[in-house]
């Protein structure tokens, strides 16, 4: 935490028996805990796990800041995850991070190895590894992402329309896209968060911490990656798994950059049996 910043509120929720082995779920950029769907969390808890999800800063019910001027760093978000564990009296957990949450999770495991029993990284990219030779985001998604710069993030109609397009752009290439389900989730997140303007701060963050490399990881690593991910093509998941001895790679056939319900059995089984 920066010296000038007051201690932020980080809101979390749990599922399952606190006596069971804990799992901390870390979501990605601009996404509150709702993007770990409640049904997903309950299914994971049903596998004998104590599941914790939380709102990153600038999302959900956690502390928000003026859009465009975040007074915190990426490193502070890493430390927030430890605070969540502390809030629930958890000394060590299996940590599962998705997208930007996967980068938070990798940093967490390297900065606080005594607090992370196993690491699972979903739809992300390897930390501290040269990825310049890997494919970048698809041209189509890059064009869509650029359009985000023209959105008035204070305008509910514009935001919901853009986010609906985003959900479709990130969808599985194998399973049917459920526009109604996506819209319901986006609207629920928008209303609960009081808008998404502050969440755009995630794209303005600076590192704030030392350089780390996932090659130094000394705990079990699970990598889950969709073969049709438009943000981080599947080669990123393969490179991450290759960087850590003994890592397991689970590829989701046709998987985009989303937790599609049809893929939950594979994803939940992989997480529940890891570590």
Residues involved in catalysis:
99, 229, 257
What CA–CA distances, in Å, run from 175 to 228, 249, 252, 262? 11, 21, 11, 7
Cα dihedral sign, 162-8-81-13: negative
What distance in Å separates the CA atoms of residue 249 and residue 221, rounded to the nearest whole number? 9
- Pairwise CA distance, residues 200 & 148, whole Å: 10
């Amino acid at each position: 935490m920066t010296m000038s910043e007051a201690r932020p509120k980080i809101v979390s929720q749990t599922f399952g028996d606190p006596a069971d082995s804990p799992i901390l779920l870390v979501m990605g950029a601009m996404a509150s805990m709702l993007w770990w769907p409640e049904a997903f969390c309950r299914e994971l808890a049903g596998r004998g796990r104590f599941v914790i999800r939380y709102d990153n800063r600038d999302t959900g019910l956690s502390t928000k800041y003026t859009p465009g001027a975040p007074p915190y760093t990426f490193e502070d978000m890493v430390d927030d995850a430890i605070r969540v564990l502390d809030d629930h009296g958890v000394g060590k957990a299996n940590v599962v991070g998705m997208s930007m949450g996967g980068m938070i999770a990798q940093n967490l495991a390297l900065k606080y190895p005594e607090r992370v029993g196993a690491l699972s990284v979903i739809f992300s990219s390897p930390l501290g590894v040269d990825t310049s030779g890997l494919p970048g985001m698809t041209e189509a998604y890059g064009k869509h992402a650029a359009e985000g710069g023209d959105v008035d993030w204070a305008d509910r109609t514009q935001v919901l329309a853009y986010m609906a397009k985003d959900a479709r752009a990130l969808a599985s290439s194998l399973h049917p896209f459920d526009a109604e389900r996506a819209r319901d989730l986006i609207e629920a997140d928008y209303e609960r968060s009081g808008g998404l303007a502050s969440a755009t701060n995630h794209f303005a963050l600076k590192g704030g911490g030392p350089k780390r490399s996932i090659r130094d990881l000394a705990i079990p690593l699970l990598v889950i990656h969709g073969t049709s991910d438009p943000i981080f093509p599947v080669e990123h998941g393969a490179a991450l798994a290759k960087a850590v001895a003994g890592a397991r790679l689970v590829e989701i056939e046709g998987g985009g950059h989303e937790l599609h319900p049809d893929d939950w059995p594979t994803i939940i089984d992989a997480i529940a049996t890891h570590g």
